[in-house]
Amino acid sequence: KRIFAFSIRKDEEPYVKEWAKAHPHIEVGYTDELLSPETAKYAKGADGVVVYQQLSYTADTLQALADQGITKMSLRNVGVDNIDLAKAKELGFEITNVPVYSPNAIAEHAAIQTARILRQTKVLDAKIESGDLRWAPTIGREVRDQTVGVIGTGHIGRVFMQIMEGFGAKVIAFDPFKNPELEKQGYYVDSLDDLYAQADVISLHVPATKENTHMINRNTIAKMKDDVVLVNCSRGALVDTDAVIAALDSGKVFGFVMDTYEDEVGIFNDDWQHKAFPDERLANLIHRSNVLVTPHTAFYTTHAVRNMVLKAFDNNCELINGKPADTPVDISQA
């Protein structure tokens, strides 16, 4: 049997080789190119494909794989919001993802950036670098004095809650799908409005769905406390960026942690040093002293990347051998 992997980065290559070595009966091929209608032909003869990309898996792309008889696709990441799932269903695809490659990677990043906002480290670092070693005005807010509101209590949200509690914060949470343990322990508030009313820090840890596009918007920000810190290390589409910019301008929002951006596809994970920067709004955010932009790197740790590669190959191996995969993506409702 043969598995072909698309868009394998240099940092993933050792793990692809590690998996191939441990599975000598499977032929493994790969490319650093993204999967598209044009590149799908590289997978010719393969029984399944292993993929990761932020670029959409469009109907054309899926069709190009299906035309070669390939319908078993294993994602190296968790999110499935960039896949034409209705088309995948129509073509009889079987898809797997890696839902839990390292919740700590994302949760730690969110926690570190939250702490940086509270201590105003971006301003402080710049001051120090320019020779200004005065204390004021960069006075910090202690984490233990914050009520941290966590939206989404899946694997990532729960690790984030633990880290924040380790710092002494009061943690509250909202999730329509309640975790029984957390419910017993009394973490949940009854509604998002309750969370907005109580939280000094609000961190998003939910997948992007049709229903939650721009859930952080002018109306919901108006319900939040003054000087709230907003943290988005989940999906750009959840946040109405213009609304946050308005709230940063008015001073309502104290700081914004932004690892994902609604227009990030084609911008993040590219080098703009020697070409015109493509997005003025993003440039504006990057240059603000109370906004911490990272280019969707919360997940990007050695631990996470190794698990993403190894688990995706394991999943694909199960699919191509007709076994039930550990972590199938349910496309029956698509």
Which member of 72, 155, 296, 311 binds ligand COI (CB under 6 A)? 296
User: In this structure, how many other beta carbons lie within 10 angstroms of the beta carbon of residue 325?
Assistant: 19
Answer for which of 37, 79, 295, 328 binds ligand COI (CB under 6 A) is: 79
Report the residue number, 77 or 327, with the smaller CB distance to ligand COI.
77
Going through the chain in order, the beta strands assigned E by DSSP cover 2-5, 27-30, 48-51, 72-75, 94-96, 147-151, 170-174, 201-204, 228-232, 253-258, 291-293
- State yes or no: is 25 an active-site residue: no
Binding status of residue 299 toward ligand COI by CB under 6 A: yes
In the set 76, 155, 235, 306, the catalytic residue is 235
Give 8 or 118: the residue with its C-beta nearer to ligand COI: 8
**Within a 13 Å sphere around the CA of 129, how many CA atoms are in the beta-carbon half?**
6
Taking the C-alpha atoms of residue 89 and residue 312, their distance in angstroms, rounded to an integer, is 20
Please report how close the Cβ of residue 128 comes to ligand COI at its closest, in angstroms.
32
Q: Which of residues 138-197 bind ligand COI (CB under 6 A)?
A: none
Cα separation, 245 vs 241, in Å, equals 6
Segment holding 192, helix H or strand E: helix 192-198
Spatial distance between the Cα atoms of 330 and 96, rounded to a whole number of angstroms:
9
Contact 151, 203 (CB under 8 A): yes
Has 296 been annotated as catalytic?
yes
Is residue 261 at the binding interface for ligand COI, with CB under 6 A as the rule? Answer: no
Site string for ligand COI, 37-76 (x = CB under 6 A): ---------------x------------------------
CB of 10 to ligand COI, least distance (A): 15
Q: Quote the least distance from Cβ 274 to ligand COI, whole Å.
A: 24
Nearer to ligand COI, 52 or 93 (CB): 52
Q: Is 264 among the residues known to form the active site?
A: yes
Q: CA 207, CA 218: separation in Å to the nearest integer?
A: 21
Give catalytic residue positions: 235, 264, 296
Chain residues binding ligand COI by CB under 6 A are 52, 77-79, 296, 299
